[in-house]
Amino acid sequence: MKVIYFDNNATTMVLPEVFNAMAPYFTENYGNASSMHHFGGLNNKAIENARRNVAALLNAMPAEVIFTSGGTEADSSAIYSALRVYPAKKHIITSAVEHPAVLEVFKKLAKEGYNVDFIGVDADGRFNMEQYKAVLNEDTALVSVMWANSETGTIFPVKEIAALAHKAGALFHTDAVQAVGKIPTDVKDIDADMLSCSSHKIHGPKGVGALYVKQGVRFLPFMVGGHQEKSRRAGTENVPALVGFGEAAKIAKETLWKYEAQVATLRDKLENALLAAIPDCKVNGDKLSRLPNTSNISFGYVEGESILMMLDEHNICASSGSACTSGSLEPSHVLMAMGVPFQFAHGSIRFSLSKFNTEEEVDAVVKVLPPIIKRLREISPFHGQKIACPAR
Protein backbone atom coordinates (compact mmCIF):
# COMPACT_ATOMS: atom_id res chain seq x y z
CA MET A 1 0.00 0.00 0.00
CA LYS A 2 1.14 3.51 -0.77
CA VAL A 3 2.07 5.57 2.28
CA ILE A 4 -0.05 8.69 2.77
CA TYR A 5 2.27 11.04 4.62
CA PHE A 6 0.65 13.89 6.57
CA ASP A 7 3.43 14.35 9.12
CA ASN A 8 5.63 16.92 7.42
CA ASN A 9 6.10 19.04 10.54
CA ALA A 10 8.02 16.07 11.95
CA THR A 11 10.19 15.69 8.86
CA THR A 12 9.98 15.88 5.09
CA MET A 13 11.02 13.79 2.13
CA VAL A 14 14.40 14.75 0.69
CA LEU A 15 13.83 16.22 -2.76
CA PRO A 16 15.40 14.22 -5.62
CA GLU A 17 17.25 17.38 -6.71
CA VAL A 18 18.66 17.71 -3.19
CA PHE A 19 19.74 14.08 -3.07
CA ASN A 20 21.45 14.39 -6.45
CA ALA A 21 23.30 17.51 -5.33
CA MET A 22 24.56 15.70 -2.22
CA ALA A 23 25.64 12.43 -3.86
CA PRO A 24 29.09 13.46 -5.24
CA TYR A 25 30.20 14.63 -1.81
CA PHE A 26 29.97 11.10 -0.41
CA THR A 27 32.07 9.27 -2.98
CA GLU A 28 33.90 11.76 -5.20
CA ASN A 29 34.45 15.10 -3.49
CA TYR A 30 34.99 13.60 -0.05
CA GLY A 31 37.85 15.82 1.15
CA ASN A 32 37.83 17.63 4.48
CA ALA A 33 36.67 21.17 3.79
CA SER A 34 39.12 22.53 6.36
CA SER A 35 42.17 20.97 4.70
CA MET A 36 44.78 23.17 3.04
CA HIS A 37 44.92 21.19 -0.20
CA HIS A 38 42.90 21.86 -3.32
CA PHE A 39 40.81 18.68 -2.98
CA GLY A 40 39.45 19.83 0.37
CA GLY A 41 39.20 23.46 -0.69
CA LEU A 42 36.68 22.60 -3.39
CA ASN A 43 34.33 21.42 -0.64
CA ASN A 44 34.77 24.67 1.24
CA LYS A 45 33.49 26.47 -1.85
CA ALA A 46 30.46 24.16 -1.87
CA ILE A 47 29.74 25.02 1.77
CA GLU A 48 29.93 28.74 1.07
CA ASN A 49 27.52 28.33 -1.82
CA ALA A 50 25.11 26.55 0.54
CA ARG A 51 25.53 29.37 3.06
CA ARG A 52 24.56 31.92 0.41
CA ASN A 53 21.41 29.94 -0.41
CA VAL A 54 20.32 29.67 3.22
CA ALA A 55 21.06 33.35 3.78
CA ALA A 56 18.96 34.27 0.74
CA LEU A 57 15.98 32.33 2.12
CA LEU A 58 16.22 34.39 5.32
CA ASN A 59 17.15 37.70 3.65
CA ALA A 60 20.40 37.62 5.61
CA MET A 61 24.05 38.09 4.72
CA PRO A 62 26.03 34.86 4.29
CA ALA A 63 28.41 35.85 7.10
CA GLU A 64 25.43 35.95 9.47
CA VAL A 65 24.67 32.23 8.96
CA ILE A 66 26.31 29.64 11.24
CA PHE A 67 25.75 26.02 10.28
CA THR A 68 24.78 23.61 13.09
CA SER A 69 23.67 20.00 13.47
CA GLY A 70 20.02 21.08 13.49
CA GLY A 71 17.41 23.24 15.14
CA THR A 72 18.05 21.96 18.66
CA GLU A 73 21.73 22.90 18.61
CA ALA A 74 20.90 26.26 17.05
CA ASP A 75 18.39 26.98 19.83
CA SER A 76 20.80 26.05 22.62
CA SER A 77 23.61 28.01 20.98
CA ALA A 78 21.47 31.14 20.83
CA ILE A 79 20.16 30.85 24.38
CA TYR A 80 23.47 30.14 26.09
CA SER A 81 25.30 32.78 24.08
CA ALA A 82 22.80 35.43 25.16
CA LEU A 83 23.21 34.50 28.81
CA ARG A 84 26.98 34.70 28.57
CA VAL A 85 26.82 38.03 26.77
CA TYR A 86 24.69 39.42 29.62
CA PRO A 87 26.00 37.55 32.69
CA ALA A 88 24.58 40.08 35.16
CA LYS A 89 21.04 39.75 33.84
CA LYS A 90 19.04 36.91 35.35
CA HIS A 91 15.62 37.28 33.72
CA ILE A 92 14.63 35.42 30.55
CA ILE A 93 11.34 35.06 28.70
CA THR A 94 9.83 32.42 26.45
CA SER A 95 6.33 31.14 25.71
CA ALA A 96 4.51 28.27 27.39
CA VAL A 97 4.03 26.52 24.03
CA GLU A 98 7.60 26.32 22.73
CA HIS A 99 9.12 23.23 21.18
CA PRO A 100 11.00 21.11 23.76
CA ALA A 101 14.30 22.29 22.21
CA VAL A 102 13.62 25.68 23.82
CA LEU A 103 11.15 24.85 26.59
CA GLU A 104 13.34 22.25 28.30
CA VAL A 105 16.37 24.55 28.24
CA PHE A 106 14.38 27.29 29.97
CA LYS A 107 13.07 24.83 32.56
CA LYS A 108 16.66 23.77 33.24
CA LEU A 109 17.76 27.39 33.57
CA ALA A 110 14.92 28.05 36.03
CA LYS A 111 16.33 25.29 38.26
CA GLU A 112 19.75 26.91 37.99
CA GLY A 113 18.50 30.19 39.41
CA TYR A 114 17.28 32.20 36.44
CA ASN A 115 14.02 34.10 36.74
CA VAL A 116 11.96 32.66 33.89
CA ASP A 117 8.61 33.86 32.60
CA PHE A 118 6.63 31.46 30.42
CA ILE A 119 4.17 33.65 28.53
CA GLY A 120 0.73 32.10 28.10
CA VAL A 121 -1.56 31.90 25.10
CA ASP A 122 -5.30 32.30 24.59
CA ALA A 123 -7.81 29.67 23.50
CA ASP A 124 -6.65 30.05 19.89
CA GLY A 125 -2.98 29.71 20.79
CA ARG A 126 -2.20 33.40 20.35
CA PHE A 127 0.69 34.90 22.31
CA ASN A 128 -0.39 36.96 25.35
CA MET A 129 1.16 40.33 24.54
CA GLU A 130 -0.17 42.03 27.67
CA GLN A 131 1.43 39.46 29.95
CA TYR A 132 4.66 39.83 27.99
CA LYS A 133 4.69 43.60 28.32
CA ALA A 134 4.03 43.32 32.06
CA VAL A 135 7.05 41.09 32.80
CA LEU A 136 9.61 42.52 30.36
CA ASN A 137 12.14 44.66 32.24
CA GLU A 138 15.71 46.00 32.22
CA ASP A 139 16.98 42.78 33.82
CA THR A 140 15.77 40.70 30.85
CA ALA A 141 18.71 39.18 28.98
CA LEU A 142 16.84 37.23 26.34
CA VAL A 143 13.40 36.78 24.83
CA SER A 144 13.11 33.52 22.87
CA VAL A 145 9.75 32.99 21.16
CA MET A 146 8.93 30.68 18.26
CA TRP A 147 7.82 32.15 14.94
CA ALA A 148 5.15 29.49 14.37
CA ASN A 149 3.88 26.76 16.65
CA SER A 150 4.83 23.26 15.56
CA GLU A 151 1.56 21.67 16.71
CA THR A 152 -1.15 24.18 15.81
CA GLY A 153 0.66 26.24 13.18
CA THR A 154 -0.31 29.47 14.96
CA ILE A 155 1.98 32.32 13.91
CA PHE A 156 3.27 34.65 16.62
CA PRO A 157 3.76 38.44 16.17
CA VAL A 158 7.54 38.11 16.30
CA LYS A 159 8.21 41.55 14.84
CA GLU A 160 6.33 43.26 17.67
CA ILE A 161 7.80 40.91 20.28
CA ALA A 162 11.33 41.67 19.03
CA ALA A 163 10.76 45.46 19.05
CA LEU A 164 9.62 45.37 22.69
CA ALA A 165 12.58 43.17 23.67
CA HIS A 166 15.03 45.60 22.09
CA LYS A 167 13.34 48.56 23.77
CA ALA A 168 14.01 46.85 27.12
CA GLY A 169 17.65 46.15 26.18
CA ALA A 170 17.21 42.40 25.68
CA LEU A 171 18.26 40.15 22.83
CA PHE A 172 15.56 38.47 20.74
CA HIS A 173 15.80 34.92 19.38
CA THR A 174 13.14 33.06 17.43
CA ASP A 175 12.88 29.34 16.79
CA ALA A 176 11.72 29.50 13.17
CA VAL A 177 12.17 25.81 12.43
CA GLN A 178 8.52 25.37 11.41
CA ALA A 179 8.17 28.73 9.67
CA VAL A 180 11.16 28.81 7.32
CA GLY A 181 10.24 27.61 3.85
CA LYS A 182 6.48 27.74 4.58
CA ILE A 183 5.91 31.46 5.02
CA PRO A 184 8.16 34.47 4.28
CA THR A 185 10.82 34.70 7.01
CA ASP A 186 12.70 37.95 6.59
CA VAL A 187 15.12 38.42 9.49
CA LYS A 188 15.66 42.06 8.60
CA ASP A 189 11.95 42.82 8.62
CA ILE A 190 11.39 41.43 12.12
CA ASP A 191 14.81 42.64 13.35
CA ALA A 192 15.77 39.32 14.92
CA ASP A 193 19.08 39.08 16.74
CA MET A 194 19.16 35.31 16.28
CA LEU A 195 17.03 32.76 14.43
CA SER A 196 17.11 28.97 14.28
CA CYS A 197 16.13 26.82 11.29
CA SER A 198 16.48 23.22 10.19
CA SER A 199 17.11 21.49 6.87
CA HIS A 200 14.84 18.48 7.26
CA LYS A 201 11.70 20.62 7.56
CA ILE A 202 12.18 21.98 4.02
CA HIS A 203 12.92 18.75 2.10
CA GLY A 204 16.62 18.71 2.95
CA PRO A 205 18.62 16.09 4.87
CA LYS A 206 18.37 15.50 8.61
CA GLY A 207 21.16 16.43 11.00
CA VAL A 208 21.91 19.91 9.71
CA GLY A 209 20.52 23.35 10.50
CA ALA A 210 21.56 26.95 10.89
CA LEU A 211 21.65 29.78 13.38
CA TYR A 212 21.33 33.30 12.05
CA VAL A 213 23.19 35.87 14.15
CA LYS A 214 22.68 39.49 13.15
CA GLN A 215 25.82 41.39 12.25
CA GLY A 216 27.00 43.33 15.28
CA VAL A 217 25.36 41.02 17.82
CA ARG A 218 28.00 39.52 20.08
CA PHE A 219 28.04 35.72 19.88
CA LEU A 220 29.90 33.32 22.19
CA PRO A 221 30.10 29.79 20.74
CA PHE A 222 28.32 26.84 22.30
CA MET A 223 30.74 24.32 20.71
CA VAL A 224 34.46 25.06 20.79
CA GLY A 225 37.48 23.26 19.38
CA GLY A 226 38.47 23.77 15.77
CA HIS A 227 38.30 26.93 13.69
CA GLN A 228 35.31 25.90 11.57
CA GLU A 229 32.49 28.40 10.93
CA LYS A 230 34.93 31.23 11.69
CA SER A 231 35.48 29.72 15.16
CA ARG A 232 31.77 30.05 15.94
CA ARG A 233 30.94 26.33 15.75
CA ALA A 234 33.69 23.72 15.98
CA GLY A 235 33.53 20.34 14.27
CA THR A 236 34.37 18.81 10.91
CA GLU A 237 31.90 20.05 8.33
CA ASN A 238 29.24 17.60 7.13
CA VAL A 239 29.70 18.60 3.51
CA PRO A 240 27.00 16.43 1.87
CA ALA A 241 24.37 17.57 4.37
CA LEU A 242 25.35 21.23 4.04
CA VAL A 243 25.19 21.02 0.26
CA GLY A 244 21.76 19.39 0.56
CA PHE A 245 20.54 22.08 2.96
CA GLY A 246 21.68 24.78 0.57
CA GLU A 247 19.93 23.18 -2.38
CA ALA A 248 16.72 22.72 -0.36
CA ALA A 249 16.85 26.37 0.73
CA LYS A 250 17.31 27.52 -2.86
CA ILE A 251 14.29 25.51 -4.02
CA ALA A 252 12.19 26.64 -1.05
CA LYS A 253 12.84 30.29 -1.88
CA GLU A 254 12.00 29.78 -5.56
CA THR A 255 8.74 27.92 -4.88
CA LEU A 256 7.43 29.61 -1.71
CA TRP A 257 4.83 31.70 -3.59
CA LYS A 258 3.27 28.54 -5.02
CA TYR A 259 3.67 26.38 -1.90
CA GLU A 260 1.56 28.57 0.39
CA ALA A 261 -1.57 28.52 -1.75
CA GLN A 262 -1.23 24.90 -2.81
CA VAL A 263 -0.95 23.32 0.62
CA ALA A 264 -3.46 25.69 2.27
CA THR A 265 -6.09 24.60 -0.25
CA LEU A 266 -5.49 20.92 0.56
CA ARG A 267 -5.42 21.59 4.30
CA ASP A 268 -8.74 23.41 4.19
CA LYS A 269 -10.36 20.65 2.15
CA LEU A 270 -9.21 18.03 4.66
CA GLU A 271 -10.25 20.09 7.64
CA ASN A 272 -13.69 21.04 6.36
CA ALA A 273 -14.52 17.50 5.29
CA LEU A 274 -13.54 16.00 8.66
CA LEU A 275 -15.48 18.65 10.61
CA ALA A 276 -18.54 17.92 8.49
CA ALA A 277 -18.27 14.15 8.82
CA ILE A 278 -17.35 13.76 12.50
CA PRO A 279 -19.32 15.22 15.42
CA ASP A 280 -17.64 16.54 18.58
CA CYS A 281 -14.40 17.68 16.97
CA LYS A 282 -12.69 21.07 16.78
CA VAL A 283 -9.76 22.78 15.10
CA ASN A 284 -7.04 24.02 17.45
CA GLY A 285 -5.12 27.21 16.76
CA ASP A 286 -5.57 30.58 15.14
CA LYS A 287 -7.43 29.85 11.92
CA LEU A 288 -6.64 33.31 10.51
CA SER A 289 -2.90 33.35 11.22
CA ARG A 290 -1.30 29.94 10.96
CA LEU A 291 1.03 27.93 8.77
CA PRO A 292 -0.59 26.99 5.45
CA ASN A 293 0.20 23.30 5.86
CA THR A 294 -0.90 22.61 9.44
CA SER A 295 -4.24 21.45 10.85
CA ASN A 296 -4.57 20.32 14.47
CA ILE A 297 -7.94 18.69 15.15
CA SER A 298 -9.27 17.41 18.48
CA PHE A 299 -11.60 14.42 18.30
CA GLY A 300 -13.50 14.35 21.57
CA TYR A 301 -13.61 11.31 23.88
CA VAL A 302 -10.93 9.18 22.17
CA GLU A 303 -7.17 8.80 22.57
CA GLY A 304 -4.88 10.24 19.95
CA GLU A 305 -2.49 7.29 20.15
CA SER A 306 -5.31 4.89 19.26
CA ILE A 307 -6.31 7.06 16.30
CA LEU A 308 -2.73 7.10 15.03
CA MET A 309 -2.38 3.33 15.37
CA MET A 310 -5.56 2.71 13.38
CA LEU A 311 -4.57 5.25 10.73
CA ASP A 312 -1.23 3.49 10.49
CA GLU A 313 -3.05 0.27 9.60
CA HIS A 314 -4.16 2.14 6.47
CA ASN A 315 -0.62 3.44 5.85
CA ILE A 316 -1.66 6.96 6.84
CA CYS A 317 0.95 8.91 8.80
CA ALA A 318 0.05 11.78 11.12
CA SER A 319 1.03 12.72 14.67
CA SER A 320 -0.36 13.74 18.03
CA GLY A 321 2.09 16.63 18.42
CA SER A 322 5.82 17.21 18.24
CA ALA A 323 7.83 14.12 17.25
CA CYS A 324 10.16 14.92 20.16
CA THR A 325 7.35 14.18 22.64
CA SER A 326 5.60 11.36 20.79
CA GLY A 327 6.47 8.82 23.48
CA SER A 328 4.48 10.70 26.10
CA LEU A 329 0.94 9.66 27.06
CA GLU A 330 0.24 13.10 28.51
CA PRO A 331 -1.88 15.55 26.49
CA SER A 332 0.05 18.14 24.50
CA HIS A 333 1.49 20.95 26.63
CA VAL A 334 0.49 23.30 23.82
CA LEU A 335 -3.19 22.34 23.96
CA MET A 336 -3.24 22.34 27.75
CA ALA A 337 -1.81 25.88 27.73
CA MET A 338 -4.65 26.84 25.37
CA GLY A 339 -7.19 25.50 27.84
CA VAL A 340 -8.47 22.73 25.56
CA PRO A 341 -10.56 20.35 27.74
CA PHE A 342 -8.82 17.07 28.56
CA GLN A 343 -11.54 15.07 26.78
CA PHE A 344 -10.56 16.85 23.56
CA ALA A 345 -6.84 17.51 24.07
CA HIS A 346 -6.22 13.79 24.58
CA GLY A 347 -7.64 13.02 21.13
CA SER A 348 -5.80 15.61 19.08
CA ILE A 349 -4.18 14.81 15.75
CA ARG A 350 -1.83 17.05 13.81
CA PHE A 351 -2.02 16.78 10.05
CA SER A 352 0.90 18.57 8.38
CA LEU A 353 0.97 18.60 4.60
CA SER A 354 3.57 19.21 1.92
CA LYS A 355 3.53 20.13 -1.75
CA PHE A 356 3.66 16.41 -2.56
CA ASN A 357 0.27 15.65 -1.02
CA THR A 358 -2.74 15.30 -3.33
CA GLU A 359 -6.52 15.65 -3.26
CA GLU A 360 -6.78 11.87 -3.64
CA GLU A 361 -4.82 11.45 -0.41
CA VAL A 362 -7.08 13.91 1.37
CA ASP A 363 -10.10 11.95 0.14
CA ALA A 364 -8.56 8.72 1.45
CA VAL A 365 -8.13 10.18 4.94
CA VAL A 366 -11.67 11.54 4.93
CA LYS A 367 -12.98 8.11 3.97
CA VAL A 368 -11.01 6.20 6.60
CA LEU A 369 -11.06 8.45 9.66
CA PRO A 370 -14.79 8.84 10.50
CA PRO A 371 -15.33 5.07 10.98
CA ILE A 372 -12.17 4.94 13.13
CA ILE A 373 -13.46 7.68 15.43
CA LYS A 374 -16.90 6.03 15.62
CA ARG A 375 -15.40 2.69 16.56
CA LEU A 376 -13.05 4.16 19.17
CA ARG A 377 -15.84 6.15 20.80
CA GLU A 378 -17.91 3.02 21.19
CA ILE A 379 -15.21 1.52 23.41
CA SER A 380 -13.86 4.71 24.99
CA PRO A 381 -14.11 5.21 28.77
CA PHE A 382 -14.32 8.97 28.07
CA HIS A 383 -17.46 8.75 25.96
CA GLY A 384 -19.70 8.84 28.99
CA GLN A 385 -18.08 12.09 30.13
CA LYS A 386 -19.56 14.26 27.40
CA ILE A 387 -19.17 18.01 27.72
CA ALA A 388 -20.17 20.85 25.44
CA CYS A 389 -17.95 20.74 22.36
CA PRO A 390 -15.62 23.76 22.37
CA ALA A 391 -15.96 26.24 19.51
CA ARG A 392 -15.00 24.59 16.24
Residues marked as catalytic = 324
Give the number of other Cβ atoms within 10 Å of residue 1's Cβ: 7
Residue 20: phi, psi to the nearest 5? -65, -35
The distance in angstroms from the start CA to the end CA of the chain is: 33
Q: Are 293 and 153 in contact (CB under 8 A)?
A: yes
Q: Which residues pair with 209 in a beta bridge?
A: 68, 198
Whether the CB-CB separation of 125 and 285 falls below 8 Å is answered with yes
